[in-house]
């Protein structure tokens, strides 16, 4: 049986942090504020997989009150999501995600992001879509105050 989950994450851009998206350091003037590396792309994908499993969000598994996850790389979270799918006898069919950022340009980094997601999930990169868009200058995303990501995951589970 095929299950679908959606995920969303957003973090504020701040001085003094690295900007990590899809496991790639974008070497930007600001980074995303958060307890872990604040990788909104990986967090949204994680939530999509947890959603397909009928579970809670990433905070249920990796609470920001737990010091173990302070500055943790988000690929750790994706490994756990993939492990839970496997424990249930399932497989991730595909993942599709969109990053919403006014800046920096995401397009040149998409191949590396797909590769990192592929490795973390044990999934063929051809089954992963990563896209980017701006918010057309509207709202906090359009003003460059933060970055968001949306994701959908399809997971095949036994009945």
Domain holding 33: CATH number? 3.30.1330.50
This prediction has a pTM of: 0.96
Q: How many other CB atoms sit within 10 Å of the CB of residue 87?
A: 9
Question: Mean pLDDT, to the nearest integer, of 2-22?
Answer: 98
Cα–Cα distances in Å, from 99 out to 53, 105, 118, 148? 23, 10, 17, 6
Task: Assess contact for 142 and 136: CB atoms under 8 A.
Answer: yes
Cα radius of gyration rounded to whole Å, the chain: 15
Task: Assess contact for 31 and 20: CB atoms under 8 A.
Answer: yes
With 90 as the cut, is the pLDDT of residue 144 above it? yes
Summary mean pLDDT of the chain: 96
What pLDDT, on a 0 to 100 scale, did the predictor assign at position 71? 86
For the chain, the domain total comes to 1
Q: What is the pLDDT of residues 26-73, one digit of tens each?
A: 999 999 999 999 999 999 999 999 999 999 899 898 888 888 888 899
Band (93; pLDDT cuts 50, 70, 90) = very high
Joined together, the tokens standing for residue 84 give 């839970």
What pLDDT, on a 0 to 100 scale, did the predictor assign at position 66? 86
With 90 as the cut, is the pLDDT of residue 113 above it? yes
Task: Assess contact for 47 and 57: CB atoms under 8 A.
Answer: yes
Of 106, 109, 111, give the one whose Cα is nearest residue 149.
Answer: 106
DSSP 27-77: --S-EE-SSS---HHHHHHHHHHHHHTT---HHHHS-TT-GGGTT--THHH
With 90 as the cut, is the pLDDT of residue 110 above it? yes
Task: Give the residue numbers spanning the domain of 68.
Answer: 2-156
What pLDDT, on a 0 to 100 scale, did the predictor assign at position 111? 97
Task: Assess contact for 103 and 136: CB atoms under 8 A.
Answer: no
What pLDDT, on a 0 to 100 scale, did the predictor assign at position 49? 98
């Amino acid at each position: 049986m095929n299950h679908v989950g959606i995920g969303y994450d957003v973090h504020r851009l701040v001085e003094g942090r690295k900007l990590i998206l899809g496991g790639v350091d974008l070497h930007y003037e600001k980074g995303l504020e958060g307890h872990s590396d604040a990788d909104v792309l990986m967090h949204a994908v994680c939530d999509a997989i947890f959603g397909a499993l009928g579970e809670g969000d990433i905070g249920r598994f990796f609470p920001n009150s737990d010091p173990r996850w302070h500055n943790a790389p988000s690929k750790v979270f994706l490994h756990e999501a993939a492990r839970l799918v496997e424990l249930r006898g399932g497989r991730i069919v595909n993942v599709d995600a969109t990053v919403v950022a006014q800046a920096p340009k995401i397009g040149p980094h998409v191949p590396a992001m797909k590769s990192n997601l592929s490795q973390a999930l044990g999934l063929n990169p051809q089954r992963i879509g990563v896209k980017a868009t701006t918010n057309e200058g509207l709202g906090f995303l359009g003003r460059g105050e933060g970055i968001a990501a949306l994701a959908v995951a399809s997971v095949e589970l036994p009945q």
